[in-house]
Amino acid sequence: MVAGHSVYTSSNCGKVDKEDSWFLESYQKHPGQASSFVTHIQEGVEIVAKDNEALLLFSGGETRKDAGPRSEAQSYWTVAESEGWFGKEESVRRRAMTEEHARDSFENLLFSVCRFRELTGSYPRNITVVSYDFKEERFKQLHRSAIGFPESRFFYSGTPGSSTSKEAALRGEAMVRSQFQEDPFGCLGSLRRKKLGRDPFHRTIPYPNGCPEIKGLFQYCDPAPYPGALPWG
């Protein structure tokens, strides 16, 4: 799963590594930011190309009002397409799909698991997440633990962010991580408000349709671990 971070807005796919080709929030407007998105996309393609049984999911909803009703997931798929799947089109393109509703990192993971079940009829045996290196603890410890996925089958591929924004990114990550520590399912307070703000087009989330076995996980909202049975437990 490649977690989306922005929406591609350029009509010219020859500019995928240029900041003005993406809709960037103020904290993202740094040299090298666009290239970091492309690196994530390529990393996802490279990982899936090595495993003929793997599925590549680009995850991220229509999160930016001023970018229009374009999803982060479709943006990443479009960039991969424009780049010829980085030389791996024959082996990867047919196995590259989108999850177009996630509004934060926890939903990137949970919704992608459901989308995988919807597409294949089963749940993933292994999960590999591609995102920034400084988000590894958030995904591997907090989000993975919240959905009860076995640590031995969960992998993370982190890439560096823009060097000019590293200190600010680390400060922001520390704050978000502490919020998820208190609210693992992102369903209360500031995390809930953030998600609502990232749904400017008021999309109806289809899940848990497609993954009925984990309906309880979608409905759960408590600081304590989810007490129900899970398909991968």
Q: What is the C-alpha to C-alpha distance for residues 188 and 158, in angstroms, rounded to an integer?
A: 28
Q: Looking at the domain assignment, is residue 46 inside a domain? A: yes
* CATH for 183: 3.40.50.620
pLDDT value at residue 233: 81
What's the pLDDT at 163?
64
What is the reported pLDDT for 113?
98
For residue 199, the one-letter residue type is: D
Per DSSP, the three-state class of 215 is: helix
Assess if residue 231 is contained within a domain: no
DSSP annotation of 104: S
Q: Residue 167, SS3?
A: helix
Identify whether 226 is part of a domain: no
Indicate whether 232 belongs to any domain: no
Please name the residues in contact with 62: beta carbons below 8 A apart, sequence gap of 6 or more: 7, 69, 70, 71, 72, 100, 199, 200, 201, 203
Q: Provide the domain count of the chain.
A: 1
Structural domain includes residue 201 = yes
Distance of alpha carbon 148 from alpha carbon 14, whole angstroms: 41
Q: Mind listing the pLDDT tens digit for each residue in 164-195?
A: 667 888 899 999 999 999 999 999 999 999 99
Question: Within a domain: residue 224?
Answer: no
Domain range for 119: 2-219
Q: Is residue 189 part of a domain?
A: yes
Query: 212 is written with which tokens?
Result: 């009925």
The kind and range of the H/E element at 69 are none
**Domain assignment present for 228:** no
Tell me how long the chain is: 233
How far is residue 159's CA from residue 130's CA, in Å, rounded to a whole number?
8
Regions of the chain where pLDDT drops below 70 = 163-165
- Position 166 scores a pLDDT of 77
